[in-house]
Amino acid sequence: MIVVRELNKSYATRDGKVSALQDINLSIKKGEIFGIIGASGAGKSTLIRCLNRLEQPDSGSVEVAGTNITELKGKELRLARRRIGMIFQQFNLLEAKTVYGNVAFPLRVAGFSKQETRERVHDILELVGLSDKLNVYPSQLSGGQKQRVGIARALAVEPDVLLSDEATSALDPQTTYSILELLQDINRKLNLTIVLITHEMDVLRHICVNAAVIEGGRIVENGPVEQLFYRP
Ligand code: ADP
Ligand code: ADP
């Protein structure tokens, strides 16, 4: 589903170039929950920003669902990016819109009719267990509920992939657990490919089958979670 080949990315700074990613190779299968773990500054955000083309890599390629997204521009890029859902640590909800409005927004932008938008919003809010919060504003929700809205919004347009960028880092352990269970449930029901970026080993161990460890902009380990982290 996702194939990353020889990806390199550096940032220009006043002191010259800072390399953020070096020779990254990754292969993520359709329907799997793949973990990427690393300490602060390891390059996780840069990698995720290359995976959804918020960032243009210096070299290498990122293929998502058979499309090389590194070279796309304009309308093609917008359409490809719609195939990639994102959830965030700080939820990034629109505070002035209701739960309904937040989830409807990407559908309206994508050109869905009001009727179809309404049906999809209802279906997806049922999936995340928030059917009773349709007309509530984000400020009236708990952290866990906010992230459920974030997940619903990301899934509304039925993406091929869900990228989770530290999506449970702002939540307490019990809420973290319930969000991870929800992601696992969605993964099974929709056969959705999920890439989960985290700095927390417990999160990764809880739901990922395969994972990569990133350190100093390089992948230093890559394989089944039980082999990577359960060695004696
Ligand atoms: P992580 O998400 O794992 O904390 P990042 O991808 O944010 O790591 O950062 C990787 C490296 O790239 C770090 O050394 C960081 O300082 C550097 N970096 C990230 N973004 C920028 C930027 N916009 N300009 C310059 N350097 C950056
Ligand atoms: P548009 O986005 O073009 O204004 P929508 O039908 O998507 O039209 O939404 C219009 C407004 O009505 C939005 O603020 C939305 O939050 C609200 N709304 C529409 N349908 C529902 C619904 N079934 N339940 C709750 N609020 C709704």
Q: How confident is the model at residue 229 (pLDDT cuts 50, 70, 90)?
A: confident
Integer Cα distance of 188 and 156 in angstroms: 17
Of the ranges 78-82, 110-114, 214-218, which one carries the lowest mean pLDDT score? 78-82
Give yes or no for residue 104 having a pLDDT over 60. Answer: yes
Give the mean pLDDT of 86-101: 97
pLDDT at 123: 97
Question: Is there a contact between 55 and 37 (Cβ–Cβ < 8 Å)?
Answer: no
ipTM over 0.85: no
For strand 193-198 and strand 161-165, is the pairing parallel, antiparallel, or unpaired?
parallel
Which pair of tokens denotes residue 47? Answer: 């990698």
Half-sphere exposure of 50 (CA within 13 A, CB side): 30
The rounded Å distance from CA 99 to ligand 2 centre is 10
Judged by its nearest atom, the ligand closest to the C-alpha of residue 15 is 1
Strands (E), the chain: 2-13, 16-28, 33-37, 59-64, 67-68, 84-88, 161-165, 193-198, 210-215, 218-224
Site to probe by mutation for ligand 2, drawn from 105, 112, 113, 114 as the one with most ligand atoms within 8 Å of Cβ, is 114
Encoded tokens for 220: 């230093």
Output phi, psi for 7, to 5 deg.
-80, 130
With beta carbons less than 8 A apart as the criterion, state whether 208 and 198 touch. no
CA 132 to ligand 2 center in whole angstroms: 15
Q: Residue 81 contacts by C-beta under 8 Å, 6 or more apart in sequence?
A: 52, 53, 69
